[in-house]
């Protein structure tokens, strides 16, 4: 019998651990059994190494798989150091153990996950892996259709909406070998930057175990699933900030793609002209790899990325309005690190940002008219089943004239052209992702005015990128009071790969 290959990875790991624990015991009765188990474990190690099986260092890391990035897991599976089935089972077990109130995952697709993991296992064993994320588990915001599983959009009105086909993006990820763990919670209809959902419960922010805080919206469960290590990577949507806000508030990387770059077929819409699909990940490399799958293109080359010689513009106007002192301090420290690594950081006004904000203040919520037109029948017939704060956002459109909205859209096109001309000489524009840290949930649920104020603050900067049709990336920039702060980059439309390269350089500079 071949000891090195007849035992599963988990059995090998447990065998080594058991021997170590018994040998370390002070009880004489444990020494001999411990020694026998340890000798047996060493025989397993010796034969496993002879056959190119898992190194002992990785056997002892079984419990730490969830600390690994998605790409690192993929590499380990390619080298035979992690079994795709065991990895998937470990995540399913974590979800069952940690998400007992089901506020993170609205649906766990365990049967599908196991079937996809088994297929990945066979490919790995035969050297036929489909790509770097083959076998890697992934969670999906519950706006993405998954055949046979309800797409609720975080709303009671869609509880029984069961699609027959996968969304295009989910199908692409499946063809790349990724393992679908299930569907994650979100703000109802994806129409809030806070992530509060009274219908299905709110997944609390991962960084405060004492005071339940907003996870950020609308991709709330997506972000929390990664931050709480219930999934290594996830996909969300961003209409006004819904990838970047929860990513920033949970210490993650979040990519807002340019509208149309990633297909939205099979994704419940909010405002089709502004809706975008993008990854939330542990680092830029993971986001880059998943973005390539979602858009059907090539991943950016991140080798040798650096900020040396890069020119960044930091607006000194509206993006800092009402920013918390801790957020400002974190960002200023980040800018100093960039300069220390050879970047050129310039300050200056970006009047287009003021003009876009004035349009929102004077005309109204520019996402509401299309969103209300999309879902008017549902809202008017079933508003009693919806969260009142979300219904209010839809009905803002009732007080907006079609002429004013058309004029605002015309002005936006002009502002885009002016903005792109202004920033043509820079590699990216940098600012706080949000000027505030995640607020406590309870006061916002109890006070409609407080909810509205916090929601506007959360979306204040991010919405600029959507209304100007830019690509955007948020990166972790440190913490204040134990809560994460995000650094947001604006890139050019449809230049996501360039943005990711610059983001990788900034990520390295901030980590040094």
Active site residues: 141, 218, 242
Q: What is the pLDDT of residue 27?
A: 47
Q: What is the pLDDT of residue 223?
A: 99
Q: What is the pLDDT of residue 480?
A: 98
Q: What is the pLDDT of residue 512?
A: 87
> Does pLDDT of 14 surpass 80?
no
**Check: CATH 3.20.20.140 for 311-365+408-511?**
no
Q: Go through the chain and tell me how many residues it has.
A: 512
Q: How sure is the predictor about 186, in pLDDT bands with cuts at 50, 70 and 90? A: very high
Q: Is 164 exposed, middle or buried (0-12, 13-18, 19+ CB in 10 A)?
A: exposed
Q: How sure is the predictor about 8, in pLDDT bands with cuts at 50, 70 and 90? A: very low
Q: How sure is the predictor about 58, in pLDDT bands with cuts at 50, 70 and 90? A: very low
> Does pLDDT of 53 surpass 50?
no
What is the 8-class DSSP label of residue 257? P
Q: Where are the domains of the chain?
A: 3-59, 66-295, 311-365+408-511
- Classified as helix, coil or strand, 314 is strand
> Does pLDDT of 61 surpass 70?
no
What's the chain's average pLDDT?
91
Q: What is the pLDDT of residue 345?
A: 98
Q: What is the pLDDT of residue 18?
A: 43
**Domain 66-295 CATH (choose: 1.10.10.60, 3.90.1300.10, 3.30.413.10, 3.10.400.10):** 3.90.1300.10
Nearest alpha-carbon partner for 144 in 177, 116, 110, 171: 171
Q: What is the mean pLDDT of residues 357-368?
A: 97
Tell me the percentage of the chain whose pLDDT exceeds 90: 87
- For the chain, the first-to-last Cα distance in angstroms comes to 49
Q: What is the pLDDT of residue 17?
A: 43
Look at the pTM and tell me if it is higher than 0.85. Answer: yes
> Does pLDDT of 3 surpass 90?
no
Helix (H) or strand (E) holding 254: strand 253-256
Domains 66-295 and 311-365+408-511 share a fold: yes
Count of other CB atoms within 10 angstroms of residue 19 = 20
């Amino acid at each position: 019998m071949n000891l090195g290959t007849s035992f599963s990875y988990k059995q090998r790991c447990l065998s080594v651990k058991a021997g170590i624990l018994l040998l370390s015991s002070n009880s004489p009765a444990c020494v001999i059994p411990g020694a026998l188990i340890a000798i047996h474990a060493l025989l397993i190690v010796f034969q496993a190494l002879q056959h190119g099986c898992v190194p002992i260092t990785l056997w002892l890391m079984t419990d730490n798989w969830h600390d690994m990035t998605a790409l690192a897991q993929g590499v380990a599976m390619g080298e035979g150091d992690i079994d795709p089935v065991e990895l998937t089972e470990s995540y399913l077990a974590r979800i069952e153990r940690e998400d007992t109130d089901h506020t993170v995952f609205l649906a766990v697709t365990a049967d599908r996950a196991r079937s996809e993991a088994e297929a990945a296992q066979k490919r790995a064993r035969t050297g036929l892996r489909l790509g770097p994320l083959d076998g890697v588990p992934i969670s999906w915001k519950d706006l993405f259709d998954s055949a046979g599983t309800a797409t609720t959009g975080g709303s009671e009105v869609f509880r029984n909406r069961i699609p027959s086909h996968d969304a295009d993006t989910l199908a692409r990820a499946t063809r790349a070998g990724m393992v679908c763990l299930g569907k994650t919670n979100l703000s109802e209809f994806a129409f809030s930057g806070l992530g509060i959902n009274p219908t299905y419960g709110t997944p609390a922010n991962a960084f405060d175990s004492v005071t339940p805080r907003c996870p950020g919206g609308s991709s709330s469960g997506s972000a929390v699933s990664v931050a709480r290590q219930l999934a290594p990577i996830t996909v969300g949507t961003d209409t006004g900030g819904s990838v970047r806000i929860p990513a920033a508030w949970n210490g993650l990387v979040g990519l807002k793609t340019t509208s149309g770059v990633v297909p939205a077929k099979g994704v419940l819409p909010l405002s089709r002209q502004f809706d975008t699909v993008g990854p939330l990940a542990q680092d830029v490399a993971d986001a880059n790899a998943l973005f390539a799958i979602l858009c059907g293109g090539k991943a950016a080359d991140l080798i040798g990325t650096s900020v040396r010689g890069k020119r960044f513009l930091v607006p000194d106007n509206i993006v800092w309005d009402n920013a918390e002192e801790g957020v400002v301090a974190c960002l200023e420290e980040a800018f100093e690190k960039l300069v220390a690594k050879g970047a050129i950081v310039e300050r200056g006004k970006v009047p287009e940002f003021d003009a876009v904000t004035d349009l929102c203040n004077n005309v109204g919520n520019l996402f509401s008219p299309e969103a209300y037109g999309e879902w008017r029948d549902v809202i008017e017939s079933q508003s009693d089943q919806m969260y009142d704060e979300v219904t209010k956002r839809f009905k803002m459109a009732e007080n907006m004239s079609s002429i004013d909205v058309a004029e605002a859209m015309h002005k936006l096109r002009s502002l885009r052209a002016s903005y792109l001309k202004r920033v043509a000489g820079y590699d990216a524009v940098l600012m706080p992702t949000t000027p505030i840290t995640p607020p406590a949930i309870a006061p916002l649920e109890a006070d409609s005015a407080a909810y509205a104020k916090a929601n506007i603050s959360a979306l204040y900067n991010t919405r600029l990128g959507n209304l100007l049709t830019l690509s955007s990336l948020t990166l972790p920039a440190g913490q204040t009071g134990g809560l994460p702060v995000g650094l947001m980059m604006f890139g050019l439309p449809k230049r996501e790969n360039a943005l990711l390269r610059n983001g990788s350089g900034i990520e390295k500079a901030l980590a040094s």
